[in-house]
Amino acid sequence: MSDTIAVLGGTGALGRGLALRLARSGHAVVLGSRDPSRADEAAAELRQTLATAGIESRVDGTSNDEAAAAAEVVLLATPWDESGASIAALAPGLAGRLVVSCINPLGFDARGPHGLQVTEGSAAEQVAILLPASTVTAAFHHLSAPSLANLDNDLSGEDVLVCGDDPAARARVIALAAAVTGRPGVDVGPLRQARVLEPFTAVLIAVNKRYKTRAGVLLTHVDVGRGPA
Ligand SMILES: NC(=O)c1ccc[n+]([C@@H]2O[C@H](COP(=O)([O-])OP(=O)(O)OC[C@H]3O[C@@H](n4cnc5c(N)ncnc54)[C@H](OP(=O)(O)O)[C@@H]3O)[C@@H](O)[C@H]2O)c1
């Protein structure tokens, strides 16, 4: 039996895309929203998309708190919040959970996208401080929501870079990456690596604009099937 996965901010583009792929892989998925009716609507759309593709799925929508209560693994697919207030509000419900931050703190100005300065070092480290009773990892920064949304897109040529301070949690997220893309994630080490992963997304977005594409990340000479030694 696959884990139930909660996706907070599951009504957004990234949350929906990840949920779609996880549900296709057989996970039960619970979308969370600040407005449960929005999550319910998004869940119905995803079920419909999967049913049209002939795939039975278990996708539900509810409040962020109830979604977190329903799952051991919780993806944070919400915008970066400098004050941290939106994450802090979720702390009680996320206690004891494995939390995966997908958050990229990015800014956009006349010169294009850029990584924002985060006092704690990265959004993921900020989340870890705000959620002391959760195990925090970070992943999925470099997958593009439109690519995820189209089930015809083969994402098995893209790496999901996974960081976190708990090796067992990293291993679990690496397996989750395989459920999303068909390719296990890459263990890049401690949570502070998010300081590199998050702003690197600005590079991908800049490339997308210049080349009119959806660039992804692929590390060479890494045997993701064998896993870390
Ligand atoms: N889009 C991508 O391709 C992509 C790829 C990789 C990573 N990311 C990262 O993933 C995260 C989500 O991206 P997105 O494009 O899906 O963003 P989004 O559409 O702007 O937001 C996702 C959801 O977050 C909720 N939300 C918005 N403001 C919130 C707040 N102050 N507190 C709590 N929830 C709030 C909203 O859901 P409700 O209103 O229903 O609560 C919204 O639907 C971002 O941090 C982004 O950097 C995005």
Give yes or no for residue 81 CB within 6 A of ligand 1: yes
From residue 199, how far is each of 12, 94, 167 by CA, in Å? Answer: 20, 25, 23
Phi and psi angles of residue 52, each rounded to the nearest 5 degrees, phi first: -60, -30
The pLDDT tens digits of the residues spanning 156-215 come to 999 999 999 999 999 999 999 999 999 999 999 999 999 999 999 999 999 999 999 999
Mutate which of 18, 78, 143, 161 for ligand 1 pocket (most atoms within 8 A of beta carbon): 78
The ligand 1 atom at the shortest distance from the C-alpha of residue 39 is: 40
Give yes or no for residue 114 CB within 6 A of ligand 1: no
Distance (Å, whole) CA 133 – CA 145: 29
Q: Does some domain include residue 90?
A: yes
pLDDT above 90 coverage of the chain, percent: 97
Give yes or no for residue 11 CB within 6 A of ligand 1: yes
Q: Does some domain include residue 146?
A: yes
- In sequence order, what are the residues at sequence separation of 6 or more whose Cβ sits closer than 8 angstroms to the Cβ of residue 83? none
Closest CA to 143 of 218, 211, 216: 216
pLDDT above 70 coverage of the chain, percent: 100
- In sequence order, what are the residues at sequence separation of 6 or more whose Cβ sits closer than 8 angstroms to the Cβ of residue 219? 159, 161, 186
Q: Does some domain include residue 105?
A: yes
Range of the domain at 59: 4-211
Give yes or no for residue 141 CB within 6 A of ligand 1: yes
Number of neighbouring beta carbons within 10 Å of residue 215 = 17
Give yes or no for residue 78 CB within 6 A of ligand 1: yes
Distance (Å, whole) CA 31 – CA 188: 27
CA of 77 to the centre of ligand 1 (A): 5
Closest CA to 33 of 5, 79, 4, 66: 66
Q: Does some domain include residue 217?
A: no
Mutate which of 11, 14, 34, 142 for ligand 1 pocket (most atoms within 8 A of beta carbon): 14
Residue 2 pLDDT grade (very low, low, confident, very high; cuts 50, 70, 90): confident
pLDDT of residue 228: 86
| Coil, strand or helix at 62 | strand
Task: For residue 121, give the CATH number of its domain.
Answer: 3.40.50.720
Q: Does some domain include residue 88?
A: yes
The pLDDT tens digits of the residues spanning 116-144 come to 999 999 999 999 999 999 999 999 999 99
Q: Does some domain include residue 99?
A: yes
Distance (Å, whole) CA 46 – CA 67: 16
From residue 50, how far is each of 76, 136, 144, 157 by CA, in Å? Answer: 22, 30, 19, 22
Per-residue pLDDT averaged across 53-74, rounded?
Answer: 97
Residue 1 pLDDT grade (very low, low, confident, very high; cuts 50, 70, 90): low
Q: Does some domain include residue 228?
A: no
| Coil, strand or helix at 105 | coil
Give yes or no for residue 215 CB within 6 A of ligand 1: no
CA of 15 to the centre of ligand 1 (A): 7
Quote the mean pLDDT of the chain. 97
**Which amino acid belongs to residue 176?**
L
CA of 203 to the centre of ligand 1 (A): 19
Question: Does residue 63 register a pLDDT over 90?
Answer: yes
What is the value of pTM for the model shown?
0.98
Question: Does residue 10 register a pLDDT over 70?
Answer: yes
* Tally of domains in the chain: 1
Distance (Å, whole) CA 107 – CA 29: 30
Question: Does residue 104 register a pLDDT over 80?
Answer: yes
Question: Which two tokens mark 137?
Answer: 């990892």
Q: Does some domain include residue 10?
A: yes
Check the CA dihedral 189-97-71-118 and report its sign.
negative
The ligand 1 atom at the shortest distance from the C-alpha of residue 79 is: 45
Measured at the CA of 130, the angle between CA 117 and CA 7, to 5 degrees, comes to: 90
Question: Does residue 74 register a pLDDT over 80?
Answer: yes
CA of 229 to the centre of ligand 1 (A): 35
Going by CA atoms, what residue is nearest to atom 7 of ligand 1?
A: 141
